[in-house]
Amino acid sequence: MSREFIDAGAELGAILLLFLLGVEYSVDELTAGVKRAHVSGTIDLALNFVPGFIAGWALGWSLTAAFLLGGVTYISSSGIAAKLMRDLGWLGNRETPAVLSILVIEDLVMAVYLGVAAALVLGTSTGGLAWSILGAVAVVGAVLMVAKRFGAHLSRLVFTQSDESVLLGLLGMVLLVAGVAEQVGVSAAVGAFLVGLAISGEAARRADRLLGPLRDLFGAIFFVFFGLQVDPSTIPPVLLPALVLVVVAIVGKLVTGWVSGKRFGASTGGRLRAGALLIARGEFSIIIAELGVEAGLEPQLAPLATAVVFSLAVLGPVAVHIASTTHRYTPRSQIRAP
Amino acid sequence: MSRPYEVKVVRTPLPGIGLRLEFATADGPRIGVIHRQKGGLELFISHADDPDLTAASLEMTVTEAATLSELFGGSAFSHELSHLREAAGGIAVDWLPIEAGTRYVERRLGDTELRAQTGVSVVTVIREGAAIPSPGPEFVFNAGDVVVAVGTVDALASAALILQSEA
């Protein structure tokens, strides 16, 4: 495969990942999520973004690279968490809405975060940066307003046609908005995410069905592309900081899950399960790391992010398994003599 | 000193997944149904010992769910409904309540965008026992109204989900 093909495929993969993430949620769900879980969402940000940021700073990285590492350690993998909850049949659990609201808030934070990260990577001056942040917040706000008011019209436009025209229409719209967003300096990913938010109802179901396989294909190319850029010999030197970050990242999410689960009325077992479900980092951490790699920011960013994300992607499900088996409440009436 | 046991249904939105409706049984375990955004239903029952943890869950189609509720009720009314469903080749009628505290109380029928979003047609609204036929988009809902809608079984399930959304 030629280098250009992998490049383009990877970019398409990242755009589709974010677009379909936006499709998953409606604007109402986002605002309700923020209302219900802003306290635990803030704790999540403090406990999981800050350690990555400090680690980058302690390693003597630039502010931008440290900011990116903070994003890598912050965002849980909604893909892994959702898959675990579905496969284990946990949607009926008390802590499930607690986990989902944290994931919703993280995704909303991510929309603004990517805008800021894109501005930082472009190396804008402090004044320009302030504008970019304001711009990112304003664009996110404006699209949320428009989606809330006109989302149904947008969805209807897509809804009435054949599968083929829906597929091409959606893909064209996403790429167009992503391209424009990139030109304005808000990052293509944010544009794609926002188009996803604006689509709801039946159109969202079709978008998911038609573009899901494309996302899986190009998403895979994106991960291969990222993996290709990491030289395995660069990983051993960053193993110590990676180990520290993995431990801190696990504790951070356990505390987040505990607090959030408690607010939703879950008992000890439920709070532990909520924390364990949030431990896995995944697709979005890699997208953030790729931003830095693409800009050639910090040679240690890719190996460190790889080590941390892949350890957590494996340890997360293991932690969920442990949480589900160790803390099972045994009532006295069911204890039998050996 | 025994009081009649009251069933209190708790509705929990599950962002990205759908809506969960459940209640705690007198014995302790919770039982409920998850209405998926992507269509389909899931029935779940929590552990007898740890009511936070799901003990069993089962994916069901709308028809299976309707059949299950008929097994519980067995009323003449639900039998009639299933006949209607068979007779009209997948098109069914459903009675969708507008409950107090949900989003469309005191809002217009047009605001729900039911037809655009799901394809169902609202035939009648039943208010305080009286039918109001062919309500227009300007029709304003009261809490306690029952919307009589016609559509495919899946479309009716989505419509029910929309009308149950939180304020």
Going edge to edge, which strands form the sheet with B41-46? B10-14, B18-24, B30-36, B41-46, B54-60
Q: Are residues B133 and B96 in the same domain?
A: yes
Q: Do A267 and B46 touch (CB under 8 A)?
A: no
Could you list the residue range(s) of the whole structural domain that residue B51 is in? Answer: 10-60
Among B47, B48, B16, B22, residue whose Cα is nearest residue B34: B22
Residue A113 is part of a domain; what is its CATH number?
A: 1.20.1530.20
Give the pLDDT confidence of A246-279 residue by residue, as tens digits: 999 999 999 999 999 999 889 888 999 999 999 9
Do B159 and B94 reside in the same domain of the chain? Answer: yes
Query: Is A29 inside a domain boundary?
Result: yes
Q: Which residue of A has its CA nearest to B24?
A: A94
DSSP code for A85? H
Domain of residue A319, residue span: 3-327
Distances (CA, A) of B27 to A95, A225, B5, B49: 21, 54, 11, 10
Q: Which of A42, A201, A175 is closest to A108 using CA atoms? A: A42
pLDDT at A48: 96
A338 within a domain of the structure (yes/no): no
Residue with the two structure tokens 């890699």 = A286
- Mean residue pLDDT of chain A comes to 84
Nearest to A270 among B45, B52, B165 (CB): B52
Using the Cβ of B12 and the Cβ atoms of chain A, whether some distance falls under 8 Å is answered with yes
| Residue B50: burial class (beta carbons within 10 Å; 0-12, 13-18, 19+) | buried
| Amino acid identity, position B63 | T
Spell out which residues of chain A touch residue B17, defining contact as CB-CB under 8 Å.
Answer: 82, 91, 100
Residue B120 belongs to some domain of the structure? yes
How many domains are contained in chain B?
A: 2
Inter-residue contact A209 to A164 (CB < 8 Å): no
- Indicate whether this complex's ipTM tops 0.95: no
- Residue A335 inside a domain? The answer is no
Residues of chain B contacting A90 with CB distance shorter than 8 Å = 53-54
Tell me whether residue B158 is in a domain. Answer: yes
List CB contacts (< 8 A) between B113 and chain A.
152
Q: Token pair of A215, please?
A: 């996302």
Percent of chain A topping pLDDT 90? 37
Q: Which of B12, B21, B35, B52 has the most A C-beta neighbours within 10 Å, making it the best mutation to test the interface with A? A: B52
Quick one: pLDDT at residue A297?
Answer: 85
With beta carbons under 8 A apart, name residues in chain A contacting B54: 89-93
Position A334 in a domain: no
Q: Which residues contact B106 (CB under 8 A, 6 or more apart)?
A: B140, B141, B142
How far is it, in rounded angstroms, from Cα B153 to Cα B85? Answer: 9
Tell me whether residues B57 and A159 touch, CB distance under 8 A: no
Position B117 in a domain? yes
Amino acid identity for residue A240 in this structure = L
Q: Are A102 and A35 in contact (CB under 8 A)?
A: no
C-alpha span between A110 and A117 (Å, rounded): 10
| Closest by Cα among A288, A271, A285, A323 to A40 | A271
- 10-residue mean pLDDT profile of chain B (167 residues): values are 63 86 88 85 89 89 81 56 55 82 88 88 84 88 87 83 82
Instruction: Give me the number of domains chain A comprises.
Output: 1
Residue A15 DSSP class: H
Q: Report which secondary-structure segment, H or E, holds B125.
A: strand B121-127
For chain B positions 39-98, those within 8 Å of chain A (CB to CB) are 39, 42, 44-46, 49-54, 56-57
Cα B68 from Cα B62, distance rounded (Å): 10
Residue recorded with tokens 């006109």: A150
| pLDDT for position A334 | 42
In a domain, B142, yes or no: yes
